[in-house]
Structure 1
Amino acid sequence: MGPSNHTQVLLRLNGEYRTDEFQASEEFVLDRLAEAHDPELGIARLPSEARRHVRRVGHYYADYGMLAALPTIDSDRIVGVVHFRVREAWAVLEPYTRAERRIRGNSYWRYFEHLACLAAVVDKEKLLSDQRLMCCESLGADAVAAIRSASVVREPADP
């Protein structure tokens, strides 16, 4: 898989995050799953709606984790995008994943776990600094004032 293919996959994953369906699933996982369902059920034994939300979120981060494990991908770029969210999702889904592994006898969602571990050991601010991402405050007062004063010319809406 070449660099342009990697870019396409990353853009697709970023687009998926912005969908209403993914947002609803992540909200369910983070806010309601643990209160509603025993982690000892694993994942496959969850009721269908809960299972659908859990799988959507888990597979999403597993896909990012698979990319991060490739030798041709800069895993720091991926971790920079999902740093907080993957740790938050793993914190909730880890006990369900561990139960699923016991039930299946396999290594379910190891790529998801890999990504959560990468995110746990990295200093995100240093990672972003190393990527040379610009910050408005570092540009000086004149640049910040110019950015803040920029106006967008909009055409009037049709009556």
Structure 2
Amino acid sequence: MEGKINDLTFEKKVKVALLLEVRKVIEEVGGNIQFAFTKNSTDLIGELVWKKLIVAGSDLEAFAKHAKRTTANPEDVKLLARRNPILKAYISELADEIKSKKEPRKSKNKKEKELPVQQKMETDPGPSSDINEEGANSPVFRADSPIYLSD
């Protein structure tokens, strides 16, 4: 069996890994809702996920290329989810969380000076009212999120 795996192309190895993960998720979800899936239905779902990822990857590549970039960014992902308002809202929220966790870049303008800490505290409006009930330190992936897969 080891020889068979080594003979596979990188794409085939990724596909096999994806199909195995899809099977695990289906078994977990099926167990939670007390519903059984046949091996054929599991394989079909895995194939559907694979094809959907291929199309999504091509779309992301096209969006980035259209914007004269070589790397897809969160705006491209939002554009990919544009036809699903709930998913788009979730992705936008997730992108904002990730963006807010990054450190701000240092200014290239030497004339701008860093405010003393006391002045920063006085000018900082504090946490905004749009933070969810879990607070600013909530995990990025939650079990109730629409795209939760598994650990």
Q: Which TM-score bucket, shorter chain as reference?
A: under 0.3
Q: Which has the higher helix share?
A: 1
Based on CA coordinates, which of the two structures has the bigger radius of gyration?
A: 2
Tell me the TM-score normalised to structure 1 length: 0.25
Tell me the TM-score normalised to structure 2 length: 0.26
